[in-house]
Amino acid sequence: MKSGMKDLLHTSDLSKSDIELLLDTAAKFAKKPLAAKKHLSKKTVAIYMTKSSTRTRLASETAVAHLGGSPIFLRGDDLQIGRGETIADTAKIISGFCDALIVRTYAQSDVDELGKHATIPVINALTDDDHPTQLLADWITIRENFGKDISGRKFVYLGDGNNMATAWLIMGATMGAHVVVATPSGKWAPKDAVVKQAIAIANKSGGKVEVLTDPEAAAKDASVLYTDVWMSMGDSESDRAEKIAALSPFAVTDKLMSLTKKDSIFMHCLPAHRGEEVAASVIDGTKSVIWRQAFHRRTTIQALLYHLTRGDLTGN
C-alpha cells in the first residue's frame, strides 16, 4: 500500500484532489458496483456503531460486500469498552483482525483516538461534530445535477448549526463553492471555530462562506436548499420546545423553494420529519433528490474504502 492518508476522521482531512478522486470513483461504482469486487477479497471490515442507523449501516455493509470483503457489524454493547477496556486497546485489537474500521458514534474524540491507535484505516461515519461520509454523497449528487462547473451557484443549508452544518461549510469551502448556512443566532448557530476554519479554506480555494440568520435571504437564487432534522440523537429533550420555536422560520417550505433558481434541488440527509424541518410537498416533490443522496452513501463509502486501503488519498 502507498503511504497516503490513513484515516478519514474529519471532513477537513480531505483535500480537493482527494474529493475529486473519490467522487470520480463513486460515479464508477454507481454504474458498476462490482467493478472492484476482489479488492477486499478474504478481508474483513469492522463497522462499529453506538448510534442507530439505517442508511449508514446498509451502505457500509453493502460497500464492503461489493468490494469482495466481509463486514463485521458491532454495536456499542458488543465490545468491552463499556466495561473499562480502553479505546486505544480496542483499536489495536480490531486492527489485528480487520483491514478497515467504520465508526458511527457520539464523541469525535473517540473517533480521533481510534484513528490514533489503529494501524488500519478508520472512517468517521458520523459523530456529534462532523459527518464527512454524508457530504461525499451530497457532493456527488450535486455534481450529477449541476456538473463540475459550479460558478454562479449558491449552496444553502438551513436549520440547526450541527454536525451537518459543519461538514457542509468545510467541504463546500474545500471545493471552492459558495456555501451558506442559515441558522438562528445563539446556541443553534454553527461554532465560531468552524466558521473561521471554513473561511480560511475558502480564502485559498476561491470559495465563499456565508453564515446568515435570514432564511429568505439565504434561499434567494440558491441552487440547493438542504436541511436536517432539528432534534438529533443525543439532543436534550428539555430543549425541544425552545429549539423548535427558534428553528421554525428555517423550515424548507414551498415559499422558500420559490425563491431559488429554476433548476434548484432540495436535499436532506434523512431521516426526515415532514411538517417540521421540511414540508411534505417539498421533500416529496419534483425538486427533491433525497433518494439519490441515500443511494450514494454506498458508492462513496465504497470509494473511500477502496482508496484508503490503497493509500491513494493525500490529505491536507
Catalytic, 98? Answer no
Cα separation, 161 vs 216, in Å, equals 17
3-state secondary structure 140-151: HHHHHHHCCCCC
Beta bridge partners of 133: none
Query: What is the per-residue burial (b if ≥16 Cβ within 10 Å, else e) of 254-281?
Result: eebbebbeeebbbbbbbebeeebbbbee
DSSP string, 238-282: GGHHHHHHHHGGG-B-HHHHTTS-TT-EEEE-S---BTTTB-HHH
Catalytic, 10? Answer no
Catalytic residue among 55, 57, 104, 143: 104
Catalytic, 302? Answer no
Catalytic, 228? Answer yes
Catalytic residue among 99, 129, 130, 228: 228
Contact 183, 250 (CB under 8 A): yes
Contact 156, 219 (CB under 8 A): yes
Catalytic, 263? Answer no
Catalytic residue among 10, 55, 138, 269: 269
Angle at the Cα of 256 from the Cα atoms of 251 and 260, rounded to 5 degrees: 135
Catalytic residue among 10, 66, 143, 297: 297
Contact 182, 244 (CB under 8 A): no
Catalytic residue among 131, 143, 178, 298: 131
Catalytic residue among 10, 110, 129, 134: 134
Cell numbers describing residue 66? 461489493
**Which one, of 149, 109, 113, lies nearest residue 127 by Cα?**
109
Residue 198's identity, in one-letter code, is: A
Cα separation, 39 vs 25, in Å, equals 14
Catalytic, 269? Answer yes
Residues labelled as active-site residues: 104, 131, 134, 228, 269, 297
